[in-house]
Chains A and B, each alone.
Chain A
């Protein structure tokens, strides 16, 4: 089975700061990591490979600096790594990104694609599902358990909802988006890191390499229908009133406050 995991390199922080002037993400001084949900995607792929055999490729679209994220994935045990990187991909929104990645995974070939649910910098949760749509393959999002079916032709996925879950059988080829509750990602290993740098290579995919599967009008800034009007960091409002009272009194205070403000 050929598994491809799509990952994203993100700033290591939950509190992304924006430059108030330009509205652009401040990346200086913030170390980069593999997006946490994507790490679970890698683990899920490696666990499937450990159990049933197969081949795991990892793919990311990004600048040359994203190389280190791919090396980390190789050091965890992935077999191959692809960096989808070209100036013409720059300025892509989720739509253009998913078009590009769909072209890349089609070029590489796959039975199963795993992505993280969403990235901690953008929080859109759009790229995974969009890749499946572009490829015309079935998808299951919010996977919290992934097992291969006994006949080897499908996956059994437990899909999380807020108040329940669904067990879904999905035939290959397909796409699954991983939740961080799916598993505990393994560490890299020392020999894994040595091999990631000394033996394995990160293959670069430029637009020319994937052009059979994605149109030029669908990539980069011009392929991005999203127009950002304004980005800003929320400023703190005035401090609320603190009441240190027992629970039942607190309920009363809240109810009265809500009534006062016409919410009730």
Chain B
């Protein structure tokens, strides 16, 4: 058993850190304040190969692995959770299902542009009436000659508005329930496709979260991923992979919160002492860092199993469950160590606390992760 990172991964981490410090951190507060999708950052991420990390070079990717990808999301999220989720949703939810299930033609047409970062990707599963109960899909897809005609509405879609390509889950046969779901590659300019309302969110405010509307949306039949009826399975597998990304995001937010808090407690004086000299501060930070290290082991383990080709769905669920819950808890405790200043927008810690919460909710709530873990234990 080897807990050491390879030299390659250490150098990748160095690149991510440098990039995050120079290109992402300086504009993180502004991205949050203006709620604008960081378009320029996305271009830079593309330039350095960070939008296609785990995909082969043949398909426009960087030829690294899922561990390298998780480490990238972690480092970006240490300074800006918005940037972290832009990479995560694009890579795990859009490019990955095409990589894993797409035809050679679909990979040539879509994966190349996604993995090289020329195009941004998104994923549409959630509907107003189908959240955790994803089987209750109302969006339909009907084959009409050479095209499928899609009708329905998707909500809370990460990267919507900024994305060129969407993976859309729709019912091709409602009578079959989850086995009647199919997955499609939909381009933003296909007739009948439009972006609806943009959500105003508590955190990750620069990440664009919108409604997608399909009104007689015409999608060529060659854009069906896999076969009809495989959509639900593809969606669930896609979310397994996505959970590694979100777990890495939660991990990054937590570590970032600790890092800025360590800086703060060494400066701030009360009762004639630096507050880092108080045992409460020391115990709090020691406890938090221990939990973050534990989360990191879970996240890296999940990525490792995915890279090995093992079944990693339980590992990913555990990683996301643990990392997201400690992230919320740690950002709250870090804000407490900041005292009144932490509650003001002068300090970054309040942004971290707002950003952390979503990691317990999207790509499967904590409760869904527990369902996955319990099922793997045979507890039913």
Contact = CB atoms under 8 A, between A and B. Distances in A.
Main secondary structure of the interface of B (DSSP, over half): helix
Interface string B5-25: 011100110110011000000
B53 interface: yes
Contact of A192 (B7, B18, B19, B49): B49
A194 B48 contact: no
B11 A190 contact: no
B62 interface: yes
Given A187-B18, A189-B49, A194 B63 contact: yes
A190 B68 contact: yes
A193 B50 contact: no
A2 to B, nearest CB: 26
Interface in A189-238: 189-198
Contacts of A196: 8, 11
Contact of A190 (B6, B7, B15, B18): B15
Interface string B50-66: 10010001000111100
Contacts of A96: none
Given A71-B7, A72-B11, A191 B19 contact: no
Interface string A165-199: 00000000000000000000001111111111110
A188 B8 contact: no
- Most B CB atoms within 10 A — which of A68, A193, A195, A197? A193
Contacts of B63: 191, 194-195, 198
Contacts of A198: 8, 63
Interface string B71-85: 010000000000000
Contacts of B72: 190
Nearest to A76: B15
A197 B15 contact: no
A187 B19 contact: yes
A75 B49 contact: no
B48 A190 contact: yes
A248 to B, nearest CB: 36
B15 A191 contact: no
B17 to A, nearest CB: 11
B371 to A, nearest CB: 35
Interface string A44-82: 000000000000000000000000100110010000000
Interface in B31-62: 47-50, 53, 57, 61-62
Contact of B15 (A68, A188, A195): A188
A190 B19 contact: no
A72 B15 CA distance: 10
Contacts of B68: 190
Given A194-B63, A194-B64, A187 B11 contact: no
A21 to B, nearest CB: 31
Report which residue of B53, B62, B68 has the largest number of chain A beta carbons within 10 angstroms of its beta carbon: B62
Contact of A191 (B7, B18, B49): B49
B53 A193 contact: no
Contacts of A190: 12, 15, 48-50, 53, 62, 64, 68, 72
Nearest to B15: A188
A100 to B, nearest CB: 26
Contacts of B11: 68, 71-72, 75, 188, 193, 196-197
Contacts of B49: 189-192
Contacts of A189: 15, 47-49, 62
Contacts of B64: 190-191, 193-194
A237 B97 CA distance: 66
A187 B48 contact: yes
A16 to B, nearest CB: 21
A9 to B, nearest CB: 14
A187 to B, nearest CB: 6
Nearest to B19: A187
B271 to A, nearest CB: 28
B95 to A, nearest CB: 14
Contacts of B61: 191
Contacts of B7: 68, 71, 197
Contacts of A75: 11, 15
A135 to B, nearest CB: 32
A40 to B, nearest CB: 15
Contacts of B19: 187
Contacts of A194: 8, 62-64
B18 A193 contact: no
A151 B57 CA distance: 37
Contacts of A187: 15, 18-19, 48
Interface string A68-109: 100110010000000000000000000000000000000000
A197 B48 contact: no
Contacts of B62: 189-191, 194
Given A187-B19, A187-B48, A193 B57 contact: no
The 8 closest A-B pairs by CB, nearest first: A190-B49, A190-B62, A197-B8, A191-B62, A189-B48, A194-B63, A191-B49, A189-B49
14 contacts: A68-B7, A71-B7, A72-B11, A187-B15, A187-B18, A190-B62, A190-B72, A191-B49, A191-B62, A191-B63, A191-B64, A193-B8, A193-B15, A193-B64
Interface of B: 6-8, 11-12, 14-15, 18-19, 47-50, 53, 57, 61-64, 68, 72
Given A188-B48, A191-B62, 11 more contacts: A71-B7, A75-B15, A190-B15, A190-B50, A190-B64, A190-B72, A191-B57, A193-B12, A194-B63, A194-B64, A196-B11
